[in-house]
Structure 1
Amino acid sequence: MRREAAAIRREWLGHLLSTRPADRPAAEAAISELYLLIGLDPPRFHWVSSPAAALLTVPPRRRLRATEVLERLDEWPVPARLSRLLGELRGKVDRRMRENLRFRARRLLDTLIQQEISVSLARSFDAVARTQIRAAYLFPPWRFPSWYGMLCVSHMAYYDALRRMTGMAFGPWEERVLDLWTTVNRSCILWWPRTDTCTVSERPVAMHTEVWGDEGEVRLHHADGPAVRYADGWDVHAWHGTSVPSWVIDDPSVERIAREENVEIRRCAIERVGWAEYIDRAGLRLVASAPDPGNPGAELRLYDMRGNTRVLLAVNGSAERDGHRRRYGLTVPGHFSDPIAAAGWTYGLSAEQYSQLVRRT
């Protein structure tokens, strides 16, 4: 069963990461049917080349309503009605599922599907699609329109797995709605439904990811250029899942790093250079070094940095996927002069408590 679940997860992950041109006829037909199901005429379709262009262009001979602006996406009437349709589908399927999964073996199978398919794909969607959306529209982490959650492939992958792995029967209405949402998920990724016009983004022409989770989760990462690139030239640079300005990947100079105020972006840029090389290029002064009691055979090195800050250079306690142990830097307050005390501070421990660790990870 785990092998079958992994195969279904890979299949749906392939749809999420696809760089093939969108299947426009299939997407338009399915979205038109969804409009009919909520009592609306099929919309006019406005295809754009990237998510960045989606809400920055106005379809020909169409004017946006005052309510149909990005800041009020969750108030748009059509996304709200489609969300209710999906909620109704979930309610019907969940009731049917409870009837079909009364036996312990079936409940265990449902748990397996959720853990190895739904949760894994939701994490990958967040790390791939949401990263692009935030890069395009600069949404803060605490304010992210719920409509994008409706587009996550994990929902349809879950129901697809239920049908294929449990043999659970669905009613005609449920089958129809499931098939329509599934077709949209497989044909394109991002779309924005308005009352009479639906804007749909093409897929990217290039995408680079890395595996970062135990269940095959992926995130955007590319050390030699954009992690995602669209046909119109819009792109997203990413370092191990963090969206960064292009200079972090293309030209991470000491001067640019020094001017960067965002701590996460500065960290990514330094990692791109390599901590040891950055310390050498920047001419950081070594304050002190000591054997790492929490990581036998490794050394802690404490350096002065700009302002009232110091950086602790350490070696990861566990190996990466390639078998190497990564060297990384942690910023600590400038009053530390003992690298062991600084290392303890990063764990919320005193120097004495950190010294007694058997091994950290």
Structure 2
Amino acid sequence: MSAVPMPSTFPRRGTFSDNPDEYAESIRAVCAQRDRWLDYGLKAGPSDRTTAESAVAQLYRRSGYREPKFVWVPSPPAAAALIAARTAAQDAHVGIRIPSLLSDSRRRMDRRIDRRHIEWPSRYSHRDPNAQRDLEARIAVARRSPKDAARAGIGPDPIIRRTVRKSLHTSLFDGVATAVRSLVPHPFGTITWYGQQEAHRVAYYDIYRSFGLMTFGREDNELLDIQSALVESTGWWWAFDDIAVMSERPTTLHTEPLPDPVHGEVRLHNSSSPAIEFGDGSGVHVLNGTVVPDWVIHDPTVERITVERNVEIRRSAIERIGWDSYLEQAGLRLVDTDDDPGNPGCSLQLFATPAGWGDEGRILLAVNGSRERDGERRRYGLRVPGAFSSAVDAAGWTYGLAGADYGRLIRRT
């Protein structure tokens, strides 16, 4: 079995054209490939067990082990229960060999990428010996869309790093995998392989080879094909010497784009039911990327908010109720209010925190400088030190500025 690399619409060559229009179109195609990998990472529904088992068996054989017995479970929590019940779960030498095999391959591919010499007609060239210019390129790519970065003459390496590897890592590894990990707090006795959520690693190298930007060795290409097959076919899995525990993908997975996503990032979100749910009913609630207990979705109350210690969960619950409603129900004392100099037409309000929050802090209520996807500008609360009695001074503190300096801002974001 060998996964077929996703095709490129451009000729295989060591670099893209230096014609601005052609180069921008090449970068657009890179983004399309990134989105295909993102779809694999977010895919819900039954795993392709035949492909997944074949890929894992190849990793075992390449690591010097016989093909394992495959045990399929409906979810990562079910895997945790199964592994915890097995005394043989500690017998996981293959769980050391496989990571070593793959990490060695990544190091070889990274060295090839780092050694390549491409002359790029731009002051932002990645291969420029001036490290400061490389830093400038990274900053410029982070702030621009990939096509705009290409039209500005920034070379392909920083663009691919940011719009493929970092973007997918944010969406899949920091987002989805982190949420699922909240369901399985117990150690497994071996490395957890995240299957489809490892697309950020695989896509990065595959895009270099599929667009002809880099040629890898035979072994590395074969290992990359195996990993591609796992991303496309299955969810999480765990390697032990005698068995491989394989988890099905989620049955449902809900996301929304990040506000103003420059590089196609998404976050988990579902306001009515679990954002991720598995076939055995296990799942996790997520609001705008924040993992929350089910009471935040179904029954948020002032009393529950008051005793909640996690700041992000507390914020999500308050926003679920609505800040106006929460302030009225909680009876928070207004300390100060003023016009927001960094956000014309909007106001700042500084409140004392409720006694149950456990400190003498303040809550600064402000209006977001940018609009949400629905066109609205969200009100949000920020924790600030209790020493503040001025709303403007508190707002300046959140930007690392004195209140007088914040007052001179033209407009914040």
TM bracket, shorter-chain basis:
0.7 to 0.9
Q: Distance in 2 between matches of 1:355 and 1:93?
A: 50
Count of aligned residue pairs for this structure pair: 347
Structure 2 length as normaliser, TM-score? 0.77
Deviation at 1:58, TM superposition (A): 4.3
Shift of 1:219: 1.5
| Cα distance, 1:90 vs structure 2 | 2.2
Question: Distance in 2 between the 1:335 and 1:157 partners?
Answer: 49
Kindly report the root-mean-square deviation, in angstroms, between the aligned alpha carbons of the 2 structures. 2.6
Q: Counterparts in 2 of 1:161-200, with a 5 A limit?
A: 161-166=207-212, 168-200=214-246
1:79 partnered with 2:118: no
Consecutive unaligned residues of structure 2, counting only runs of 5 or more, are 1-25, 121-125, 128-154
2:349 corresponds to 1:312 = no
Aligned to 1:65: 88
The 10-residue stretch of structure 1 (181-190 or 278-287) with the greater mean CA deviation from structure 2: 278-287
Q: Offset at 1:4?
A: 0.8
User: Shift in Å at residue 95 of structure 1?
Assistant: 4.8
Cα pair distance change 1:49/1:29, threshold 3 Å: same
Name which of structure 1's ranges 344-353 and 45-54 shifts more when overlaid on structure 2.
344-353
Equivalent residue number for residue 350 of structure 1: 402
- CA deviations 1:21-71 (Å, max 9, x no partner) are 100011001100110001000111111111111121149xx9333736xxx
Shift of 1:170: 4.0
The answer for the alignment partner of 2:39 in structure 1 is 14
2: CA distance, partners of 1:112 / 1:355: 36
> Is the 1:45–1:198 Cα contact (8 Å) retained in structure 2?
yes
CA contact (8 A) 1:6 1:116 kept: yes
Instruction: Report the AA paired with residue 67 of structure 1.
Output: Q
Q: Which moved more, 1:295-304 or 1:326-335?
A: 326-335
* Residues 131 and 243 in structure 1, CA contact (< 8 A), matched pair in contact too: no
Aligned counterparts of 2:29 and 2:231: Cα–Cα separation in 1: 20
How far apart, CA to CA, are the structure 2 residues paired with 1:20 and 1:287? Answer: 52
Residue 137 of structure 1 aligns to a residue whose secondary structure is coil
Please name the residue that 1:90 is paired with: 106
Distance 1:115 1:329 in 2: 30
| Residue 26 (str. 1) matches residue 40 (str. 2) | no
* More displaced stretch, 168-177 vs 232-241: 168-177
| TM-score, length basis structure 1 | 0.87
- Does the aligned pair in 2 maintain the 1:127–1:220 contact within 8 Å? no
> Are 2:393 and 1:341 aligned?
yes
- Map Cα deviations across residues 256-284 of structure 1 (whole Å, 9 max, x no partner): 11121222211111122221221122232
Gaps of 5+ in 1: 69-75
Whole-angstrom CA distance in 2 between matches of 1:162 and 1:121: 15
Secondary structure of the residue that 1:356 maps to in structure 2?
Answer: coil
Matched residue, 2:317: 269
- Local SS of the residue matching 1:56: helix
The correspondence for 1:104, drawn from 119, 122, 129, is 119
**C-alpha contact (below 8 Å) 2:79/2:247 kept by paired residues:** yes
**Residue 118 (structure 1) aligned with residue 165 (structure 2):** yes
3-state DSSP of counterpart to 1:104:
coil
The residue aligned with 1:71 is none
User: Counterpart of 2:109 in 1: which secondary structure?
Assistant: helix
Between the aligned partners of 2:50 and 2:209, the Cα distance in structure 1 is: 26
